[in-house]
């Protein structure tokens, strides 16, 4: 007979929870929309649960793993980023954690592209003009103009899953691309994109030749009209090329004064105080952000300065917030489905109980023989 596993979810992930209940698991879902206090998570873990479902707003570290010693078998995160989970601590306690990579790749990339469009074509100030009844005339350049993306050059910083999907979207808009990734250069993909762009030109679908290549970080910043960031948050010590405050005074000053920055990765990748100054002092033309050093964005954030509002789009960590992407119970389509499947894989002992074989497990190194 199946053991009756107990699971605590720090947030409601929709109907996918039924997949657990249908297996006879006992599932408690934290009912409130905001994150539960950490002491409540610890209390629930201590009560003997087998599985914990988390989101990026929960801090999961040694305190939590200690509370789950000898009974907590898996932490299943509904997100691809897992910088809120202390990997070294999870490994020390030998608790596997899973994430929901891939199923949010296209949704996140398309949102990054839409943010870029909204920013550069000034859709937000333009709509305000209409709503505030200040649309008095049609004029060739007044009250302001935006910048088109077609034929422009974009830097793709990080060419993992989402960076590559962003490249695909940008190719459709006849953009040139400067790619940078210190750890993973996908030359086959870049070559295929070049072939597609060449075919579009040969068949008269594109008007001008477009190109894509890998370059150094500095060159990507110096030569592009847009910079889109698709890196994980890696703090100093976590990688030879950390991403913490990768965008700082020195690197923002490398960008053209006409260039725009789009960040859908993680907030601490950008020094926000410096970015606000860069916008105020016109080091760059604009920024669109989905993620912040502190979330939700504090009331006194320098990014809220009304003086830069027309050039600074602020989204509420929304890039993966699309219906199917977030909630589908199908592990090949939805974060909820993939999160639940990752949890089931560990608890049901799928793949012969070998964590290193489980597709959604992250810290496989702790289980390698």
Q: What is the DSSP letter of 73?
A: -
158 in contact with ligand NAD (CB under 6 A): yes
Contact 65, 94 (CB under 8 A): no
Residue number with the shortest CB distance to ligand NAD?
160
**What is the x/- site pattern for ligand NAD, positions 181-200, by CB under 6 A?**
xxxx----------------
**What is the x/- site pattern for ligand NAD, positions 19-48, by CB under 6 A?**
------------------------------
326 in contact with ligand NAD (CB under 6 A): no
Nearest to 252 by CA among 261, 244, 243: 261
Told to judge if 87 belongs to the known catalytic residues of this protein, a careful annotator would answer: no
Site for ligand NAD in 265-304 (CB under 6 A): 265-266, 290-291
Contact 200, 208 (CB under 8 A): no
Q: Which is nearer to ligand NAD, 166 or 259 (CB)?
A: 166
**What is the x/- site pattern for ligand NAD, positions 54-93, by CB under 6 A?**
--------------------------xx------------
317 in contact with ligand NAD (CB under 6 A): yes
Select the span of 61-69, 135-143, 156-164, 274-282 touching ligand NAD (CB under 6 A).
Answer: 156-164
99, 230, 266, 326: the catalytic one is 266
Contact 161, 102 (CB under 8 A): yes
162 in contact with ligand NAD (CB under 6 A): yes
Q: Which is nearer to ligand NAD, 220 or 355 (CB)?
A: 220
Contact 60, 53 (CB under 8 A): no
Told to judge if 295 belongs to the known catalytic residues of this protein, a careful annotator would answer: yes
166 in contact with ligand NAD (CB under 6 A): no
Distance CA 227, CA 69 (A): 44
Distance CA 214, CA 208 (A): 20
Strand partners of residue 8: 28, 52
Q: Between β-strands 260-263 and 226-229, what pairing exists: parallel, antiparallel or unpaired?
A: parallel
Concatenated DSSP letters for 249-308?
A: HHHHTTS-TT-EEEE-S-GGGB-HHHHHHHHHTTSSSEEEES--SSSSPPTT-GGG-GGG
Q: List active site positions.
A: 266, 295, 317
Residues that bind ligand NAD (CB under 6 A): 80-81, 101, 104-105, 108, 157-163, 180-184, 230-234, 239, 241, 243, 246, 264-266, 290-291, 317, 319-320
């Amino acid at each position: 007979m199946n053991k009756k596993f107990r699971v605590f979810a720090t947030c409601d992930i929709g109907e996918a929870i039924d997949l657990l209940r249908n297996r006879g698991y006992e599932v408690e879902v934290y009912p409130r929309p905001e994150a539960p206090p950490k002491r409540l998570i610890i209390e629930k873990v201590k009560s003997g649960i087998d599985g914990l479902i988390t989101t990026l707003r929960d801090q999961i570290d040694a305190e939590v793993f200690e509370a789950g010693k000898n009974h907590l078998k898996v932490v299943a995160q509904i997100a691809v980023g897992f910088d809120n989970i202390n990997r070294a601590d999870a490994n020390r306690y030998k608790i596997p954690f899973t994430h929901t990579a891939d199923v949010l790749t296209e949704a996140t990339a398309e949102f990054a592209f839409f943010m870029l469009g909204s920013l550069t074509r000034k859709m937000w100030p333009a709509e305000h003009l209409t709503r505030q009844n200040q649309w008095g005339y049609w004029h060739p350049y007044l009250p302001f103009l935006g910048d088109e993306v077609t034929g422009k050059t974009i830097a793709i910083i990080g060419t993992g899953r989402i960076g590559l999907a962003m490249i695909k979207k940008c190719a459709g808009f006849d953009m040139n691309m400067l790619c940078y990734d210190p750890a993973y250069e996908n030359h086959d993909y870049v070559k295929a994109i070049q072939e597609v762009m060449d075919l579009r030109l040969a068949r008269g679908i594109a008007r001008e030749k477009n190109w894509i290549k890998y370059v150094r970080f500095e060159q990507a910043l110096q030569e592009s009209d847009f910079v889109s960031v698709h890196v994980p948050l890696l703090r100093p010590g976590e990688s030879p090329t950390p991403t913490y405050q990768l965008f700082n005074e020195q690197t923002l000053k490398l960008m053209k004064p006409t260039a725009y920055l789009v960040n859908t990765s993680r907030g601490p990748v950008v020094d926000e105080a410096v970015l606000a100054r860069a916008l105020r002092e016109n080091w760059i033309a604009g920024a669109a952000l989905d993620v912040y050093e502190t979330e939700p964005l504090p009331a006194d954030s320098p990014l809220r300065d009304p003086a830069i509002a027309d050039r600074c789009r602020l989204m509420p960590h929304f890039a993966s917030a699309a219906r199917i992407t977030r909630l589908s119970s199908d592990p090949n389509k939805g974060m909820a489905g993939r999160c639940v499947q990752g949890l089931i894989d560990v608890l049901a002992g799928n793949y012969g109980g070998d964590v290193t074989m489980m597709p959604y497990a992250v810290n496989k190194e702790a289980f390698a023989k």
